[in-house]
């Protein structure tokens, strides 16, 4: 099984400090957050986690999601780790320029020595998506949106076209694309440069008009092998799209019937691409895990971690719908106890977490578990110890060994990586 970690990151402030306001504008809290997240990243590297990933959200003066550039955060993280893969959960494609996304991820791939993976999402926070993506006509989509159907269609169209551009640039030395939203390159660009005629002749037509572009550098990894993550979803359409693209949807629910419906949707679609794929394969699961000496201590730690972040911020966007039982009506109690009782937050002693985790692994055939760590409001020393207990005591107790994805570099790459001795 592989373990990944999702880091927002949040400002390193106590719940009381958050409630005083504008924690995101406090440079002390952000510097402390970098210190704490660096400690987590180094620990994950040593413990054998497969990856760490950052979200993309903007304008978080509240301080709970200070993550306006997950690729730039990834470059920072790559510089303080050695084996841990670095990705995004996720870059919000409808609001971004996909050409720049393709370039930035390719550079991250080189900076990290081939440890980059790509995570793409459609965006659920309107403050961010509509402001950043105003030139694209981007809109957010979220579970409780009263105009969900209309916004979802616009958002999905932008997402899928942008993804085509990113993939096309990675997979081709020279590339052109004419879509509804993006023209790569736009027509009518005069580029009769003698240097281009000699050094990149396939990009220019006989009349001197630019016909194609290419990104430089391109990815270090063979683009056909770069892992695609699609977090955090319960949408059948998104899950089926991920299956067609060979991506990993990260399922955002602990509820048995909901998860199994997602796994069924993925499997049905994925078999058209790969008839041999097994049920439950190529799908990640999203949880919080907190381990301590006692159940009570673990619950207290989690209460300051996601037990603060989720009820204080994310329920507003319909996150509690991921905890809803089939047929259940009415509101869901917006508390950490609900998150624990319904299985999203797996908390407790070594024995308790081992029992709960083993049940989930057996029920869903989990081969990739992505842990949401509430770094920021929770005590960092207790979160670090939780990770240590998970890997060194819980996983051996249930017979789980950690695996890591091995990147495949481009076949033409034949020199040492920049981090290696020539």
CA 229/CA 232 separation, integer angstroms = 9
Q: Mind giving me the DSSP string for 260-300?
A: HHHHHHHHHHHHHH-TTPPTTTT-EEEEEEEE-SSHHHHHH
With a CB cutoff of 8 Å and minimum separation 6, the contacts of 330 are none
pLDDT band at 421 (very low <50, low <70, confident <90, very high): confident
pLDDT in tens, 112-155: 999 999 999 999 999 999 999 999 999 999 888 899 899 999 99
Total structural domains within the chain: 1
CATH code, domain carrying 343: 3.20.20.30
CA 11/CA 418 separation, integer angstroms = 33
With a CB cutoff of 8 Å and minimum separation 6, the contacts of 372 are 5, 6, 286, 287, 288, 306
pLDDT in tens, 259-299: 999 999 999 999 999 999 999 999 999 999 999 999 999 99
Average pLDDT, the chain: 98
Q: Is residue 7 part of a domain?
A: yes
pLDDT in tens, 346-358: 999 999 999 999 9
Q: Is residue 145 part of a domain?
A: no
**pLDDT score of 397:** 99
Q: Is residue 25 part of a domain?
A: yes
Q: Is residue 167 part of a domain?
A: no
Cβ atoms 63, 22 nearer than 8 A: yes
**pLDDT score of 348:** 99
Strand, coil or helix: 34: helix
Bridge partners of residue 119, in order along the sequence = 229
**pLDDT score of 262:** 98
**pLDDT score of 122:** 96
Bridge partners of residue 51, in order along the sequence = 4, 85
Q: Is residue 163 part of a domain?
A: no
Q: Is residue 267 part of a domain?
A: no
pLDDT in tens, 90-101: 999 999 999 999
E strands of 330-408, at which residues?
Answer: 345-348, 368-372
Task: Provide mean pLDDT across the span 322-329.
Answer: 98
**pLDDT score of 246:** 98
pLDDT in tens, 217-238: 999 999 999 999 999 999 999 9
**pLDDT score of 341:** 99
**pLDDT score of 228:** 99
Q: Is residue 385 part of a domain?
A: yes
CA 114/CA 118 separation, integer angstroms = 12
Q: Mind giving me the DSSP string for 186-254?
A: PTT-B---HHHHHHSGGGB-TTSBB--B--SS--SB-GGG--EEEEEE--HHHHHHHHHHT-EEEE---
Task: Provide mean pLDDT across the span 315-338.
Answer: 97
With a cut of 80, say whether residue 422 has pLDDT above it: no
Q: Is residue 199 part of a domain?
A: no
Query: What DSSP character marks residue 390?
Result: I
Q: Which residue range forms the structural domain that includes residue 334?
A: 1-83+283-404
Burial label for 198, CB within 10 Å (0-12, 13-18, 19+), is: exposed
pLDDT in tens, 23-38: 999 999 999 999 999 9
pLDDT in tens, 234-257: 999 999 999 999 999 999 999 999
**pLDDT score of 144:** 84
Calculate what percentage of the chain has a pLDDT beyond 70: 100
**pLDDT score of 390:** 99
CA 404/CA 302 separation, integer angstroms = 27
pLDDT in tens, 369-401: 999 999 999 999 999 999 999 999 999 999 999
């Amino acid at each position: 099984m592989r373990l990944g970690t999702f880091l927002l990151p949040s400002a390193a402030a106590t719940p009381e400090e958050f409630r005083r306001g504008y924690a995101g504008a406090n440079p002390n809290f952000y510097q402390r957050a970098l210190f704490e997240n660096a400690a987590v990243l180094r620990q994950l590297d040593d413990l054998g986690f497969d990856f760490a990933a950052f979200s993309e959200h903007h304008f978080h003066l509240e301080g709970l999601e200070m993550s306006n550039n997950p690729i730039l955060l990834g470059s920072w993280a790559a510089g303080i780790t050695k084996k841990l893969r670095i990705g995004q959960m996720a870059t919000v494609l409808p609001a971004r320029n996909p050409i720049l996304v393709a370039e930035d991820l390719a550079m991250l791939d080189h900076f990290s020595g081939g440890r980059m993976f790509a995570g793409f999402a459609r965006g659920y926070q309107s403050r961010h998506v509509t402001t950043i993506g105003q030139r694209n006509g981007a809109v957010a989509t979220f579970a409780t949106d009263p105009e969900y159907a209309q916004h979802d269609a616009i958002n999905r169209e932008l997402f899928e076209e942008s993804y085509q551009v990113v993939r096309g640039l990675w997979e081709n030395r020279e590339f052109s694309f004419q879509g509804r939203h993006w023209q790569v390159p736009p027509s009518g660009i005069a580029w009769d440069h003698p240097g281009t005629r000699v050094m990149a002749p396939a990009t220019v037509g006989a009349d001197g008009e630019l016909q194609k572009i290419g990104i430089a550098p391109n990815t270090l990894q063979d683009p056909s092998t770069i892992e695609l993550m699609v977090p955090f979803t319960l949408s059948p359409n998104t899950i089926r799209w991920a299956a067609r693209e060979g991506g990993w949807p990260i399922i955002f629910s602990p509820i048995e019937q909901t998860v199994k419906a997602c796994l069924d949707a993925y499997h049905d679609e994925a078999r058209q691409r790969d008839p041999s794929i097994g049920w439950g394969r190529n799908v990640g699961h999203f949880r919080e895990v907190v381990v301590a000496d006692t159940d009570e201590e673990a619950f207290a730690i989690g209460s300051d971690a996601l037990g603060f972040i989720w009820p204080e911020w994310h329920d507003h966007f319909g996150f509690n719908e991921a905890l809803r039982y089939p047929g259940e009506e009415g509101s869901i109690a917006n508390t950490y106890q609900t998150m624990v009782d319904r299985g999203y937050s797996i908390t407790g002693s070594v024995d308790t977490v081992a029992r709960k985790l083993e049940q989930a692994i057996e029920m869903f055939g989990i081969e990739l578990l992505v842990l949401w760590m509430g770094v920021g409001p929770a005590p960092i020393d207790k979160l670090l110890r939780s990770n240590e207990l998970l890997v060194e005591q819980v996983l051996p107790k249930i017979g789980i060994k950690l695996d890591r994805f091995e990147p495949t570099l481009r076949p033409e790459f034949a020199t040492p990586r920049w981090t290696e001795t020539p």
